[in-house]
Chain A
Amino acid sequence: MSRSVILKTFGVLIVGALIFLPLTLNRYGIYIMSLWAIMTIAAMGLNLTLGYAGQVSLAQGAFVGLGAYTVAIMMSAGFGFWLPLLIAIVITFAVGWLLGYPALRVQHHYLAFVTLAFSTLVFLVFRNEEWLTKGIYGIMGFKRPSAFGVSFQKPIEFYYFTLGALVLASAFMAWLVRSPWGRAFVALRENPVRALSLGVDTRRYTLMAFAIGSAMGGFSGALYAPLVEFVDPTPFTLALSLNLLMMVIVGGSGFFFGPFLGAAIGVLLPEWLRFAHGWYLIIYALFVMILLIKTPTGILGIIENMIAARKTRAASAARAAASAGLDKV
């Protein structure tokens, strides 16, 4: 009981910090917090595809890009924000579904390389199809959204907007992974052959895992565009996909709160390290390596192991007691 109290207090503190801390930050701090919220959404999507369903994807960055471009192109054409947002989600869902098909044939590193290729192809399209994307010059001149007469123009306003989106996305995710689907996704990861023979339609679940994960990426991209108010191809290279992957693994893949932590490390840590000037990336890379060496299952993996160890100790004691109770026949 006391543990749940601790957890609840901790939760309230974090939520409180997310709501009130930005009020004390300068515009840059707020921007970083918004970026964290947006990256968390994308990482959450990848966590579904990779962490729960076990489908290695190196294309999440491309989906963020697709979402961002959809919104930027449509907003520039005067569609407001909400319709483009919806379309971005629908498009990334559909493309994600299609990208799932290779996963039906190949797994693990093979799948990783198919998705890697896809992500590079998407980058080339962003860069080369100038008629649509303005190519390397990028798209500018669209504004942050407003809703119900409330504008999200100012940094702090837009931050609360992204925070709201994050809450929405987390709620959806929490519900999804706790539904029977969540268990079926895990079954895909753990033992697809057995799952199939238990009636789990592994094809559809695989496609769904890709589609939903990608749509979360698209959602995140749709928020990224108005955050930066400029979209060009450079942020959506393979590096972004790799970064998101790193966030998921470092936070703890397959754990609900993994992406929150991972994104915090991926987005905030480089900021905190800026004092180190040119060395900050070196320190960051070192930090990630040391962290992974210490906790190869991610930060939450370690915490879970600790909790499991405590439970096991109890079971172990019970077994020892029972064993001692047996007399020699």
Chain B
Amino acid sequence: MTRTLMEVQGIRKKFGGITAVDGVSFEVREGEILGIIGPNGCGKSTLFNCILGQLPPTEGRVMLDGDDVTGLRPSAMNRRGVSRTFQLLQVFPQLSVRENLVLAGQEHKGTMFTRLFGPRDAGLTPDANQMIDFFRLGHLAEEKAGGLSYGQQKLLDAAMAFMAGPRMVLLDEPAGGVNLTMLGHLEERLRAMNTERGATFVVIEHNMDFVMRLCTRVVVLAEGKKIAEGTPAEVRANQAVIDAYLGH
């Protein structure tokens, strides 16, 4: 039942002399919520970028459904049902919140050409409206995304990642700057998508409470290498993790 959805094999990424990710391997099982934690600068975001084709890995492979998808472009990955959020704010600042969401949903049906002749708001599924309500963005739907507050943009970014009904979402610090009440909602939402639709999540997060509550399994990186892997409780008790990351 818990099929392997994605397999990350020995990913290494060098920037000039710096090795940001140093041979990291792990697998993501279908329907799980996997946490990735590690100190600042240990290579988490870079790892995401390599998995999703935003950066070419120096070494290593990424397998999705058993196919080698290393080096596929992010758009292709996205159309295979893998979407993501970003650590730093990434929205379309001059577009309204609604347009941001419609855009996030439109590129998944048909080909580029059928879309040209299709309806303008093909991306505006019932989901979109639901998403707007869910993230409490209703009163901001017609505002330009660039004028939102930090936390609001963060939420919009997450909402965009969910728009196309992805099988798998990679979230890079979704909780940063999000109000705790809202974070509770987000958590519920992830869990709901996980149980109802079987969506898989990989979450980078520094908010340990969030990780502990949400994740079924956690991978710990330090200085580009994987130093631990296990259930949240196991990881939390691991001395190496405490030394490198959690502190006292």
Task: Report which A residues bind B (CB closer than 8 A).
Answer: 178-181, 183-184, 186-187, 190-191, 193-205, 311, 315, 318
Contacts and interface: CB of A to CB of B under 8 A. Distances in A.
Contact of B92 (A187, A203, A205): A187
Interface in B70-112: 73-75, 78-79, 83-84, 86, 90-95, 99, 102-104, 106-108, 112
A309 B164 CA distance: 33
Nearest to B80: A199
A181 B163 CA distance: 18
Contact of A199 (B78, B86, B91, B117): B78
Contact of A196 (B75, B108, B116, B163): B75
Contacts of B164: 198-199
Interface of B: 52, 54, 73-75, 78-79, 83-84, 86, 90-95, 99, 102-104, 106-108, 112, 115-118, 120, 122-123, 139, 142-143, 160, 163-164
B172 to A, nearest CB: 11
Given A183-B103, A197-B54, A190 B93 contact: yes
Nearest to A205: B112
A196 B73 contact: yes
B75 A202 contact: yes
Main secondary structure of the interface of A (DSSP, over half): helix
B91 A198 contact: no
A180 B86 contact: no
Contacts of B92: 186-187, 190-191, 194-195
Contacts of B143: 315
For the complex of A and B, 9 pairs with smallest distance between CB atoms: A199-B78, A199-B107, A190-B92, A194-B90, A196-B74, A197-B74, A180-B115, A180-B106, A198-B104
12 contacts: A179-B116, A180-B115, A183-B102, A184-B103, A186-B94, A190-B93, A191-B92, A196-B54, A198-B75, A198-B160, A199-B79, A311-B142
A181 B84 CA distance: 22
Given A178-B120, A197-B83, A184 B106 contact: yes
Nearest to A178: B120
Contacts of A196: 54, 73-75, 78
B90 A191 contact: yes
B188 to A, nearest CB: 24
Contacts of B93: 190-191
A198 B116 contact: no
Given A190-B92, A199-B164, A202-B75, A184 B54 contact: no
A194 B91 contact: yes
B89 to A, nearest CB: 10
Given A178-B120, A200-B107, 17 more contacts: A180-B107, A183-B103, A190-B93, A191-B92, A197-B90, A198-B104, A198-B164, A199-B79, A199-B83, A199-B108, A200-B103, A201-B73, A201-B107, A202-B75, A203-B73, A205-B112, A315-B139
Contacts, number: 93
Contacts of B74: 196-197
For A180, A202, A204, which residue has the most chain B Cβ atoms within 10 angstroms? A180
Contacts of A181: 112, 115-116
Contacts of B104: 198
For B78, B92, B164, which residue has the most chain A Cβ atoms within 10 angstroms? B92
B95 A186 contact: yes
B148 to A, nearest CB: 13
A180 B118 contact: yes
Nearest to A308: B144
Nearest to B122: A180
Given A184-B107, A190-B95, A204 B90 contact: no
A255 to B, nearest CB: 12
A205 B99 CA distance: 18
A177 to B, nearest CB: 10
A183 B99 CA distance: 8
B103 A187 contact: yes
Contact of B107 (A194, A198, A315): A198
A259 B107 CA distance: 29
A66 B92 CA distance: 35
B128 to A, nearest CB: 13
A193 B91 CA distance: 10
Given A194-B92, A197-B54, A198-B160, A183 B75 contact: no
Contacts of A311: 142
A197 B106 contact: no
